[in-house]
């Protein structure tokens, strides 16, 4: 092998190593069995998980602005839009689930409760791990002939099984809002 070939081989190896090191470890993608809608749910939950405490303490308008700036898709948190409007507009889609989660955070929860939800997401290993766990648990529960509401609650409990009781309760509160139940259970499966 000539020196030129050796140099080219070494350079190619370096390029390969460098390009592999630039791939984010633990990123959610299709290889992880997640589709675009799952990634949107992960994105909104990650935004909640990473929301600065100062934003939470500023209240509804700051939270709304923060969430709208942190996600790469429209949340539909327009003035005067109620939870039932989000659900009716997009029931059965993960977009409806994402919108219902965002609206619930903005409209239904006090700063103290949002801080608990944020902490709960961290304690279950983050939004990606939580979403990856909740969908199969939901499908399993539906196969066991549980109602959509009962299936979603059981899926949240099981997905958060390694977290403490306070974390499970906070996530159950978030996924217990009626519009979130309706939108997310329809989006997760039958």
> What does the DSSP 8-state code read for residue 24?
P
- Which pTM value belongs to this model? 0.74
- Reported confidence tier of residue 189, pLDDT bands at 50, 70, 90: confident
Contact 97, 73 (CB under 8 A): no
Q: Using only the alpha carbons of the chain, give its radius of gyration.
A: 20
* pLDDT tens digit sequence for 142-159: 999 999 999 999 999 999
Sorted by where each begins, the domain ranges of the chain are: 34-188
Which CA distances in Å does 60 have to 57, 82, 85, 165?
9, 14, 18, 27
Cα gap 148→178, rounded to integer Å: 11
**pLDDT value for 75:** 76
């Amino acid at each position: 092998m000539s020196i030129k070939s050796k140099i080219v081989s070494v350079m190619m190896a370096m390029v390969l190593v460098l390009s592999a090191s630039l791939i984010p470890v633990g990123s959610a993608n299709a290889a992880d069995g997640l589709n675009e809608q799952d990634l949107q749910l992960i994105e909104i939950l990650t935004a909640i998980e990473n929301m600065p405490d100062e934003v939470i303490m500023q209240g509804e308008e700051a939270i709304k602005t923060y969430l709208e700036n942190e996600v790469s898709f429209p949340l539909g948190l327009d003035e005067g839009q109620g939870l039932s409007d989000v659900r009716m507009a997009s029931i059965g889609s993960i977009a409806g689930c994402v919108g219902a989660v965002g609206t619930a955070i903005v409209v239904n929860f006090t700063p103290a409760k949002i801080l608990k939800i944020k902490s709960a997401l961290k304690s279950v290993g983050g939004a990606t791990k939580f979403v990856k766990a909740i969908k199969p648990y939901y499908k399993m529960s539906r196969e066991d002939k549980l109602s959509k509401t009962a299936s979603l609650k059981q899926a949240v409990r099981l997905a958060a099984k390694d977290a403490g009781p306070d974390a499970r309760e906070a996530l159950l509160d978030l996924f217990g809002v009626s519009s979130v139940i309706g939108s997310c259970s329809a989006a997760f499966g039958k």
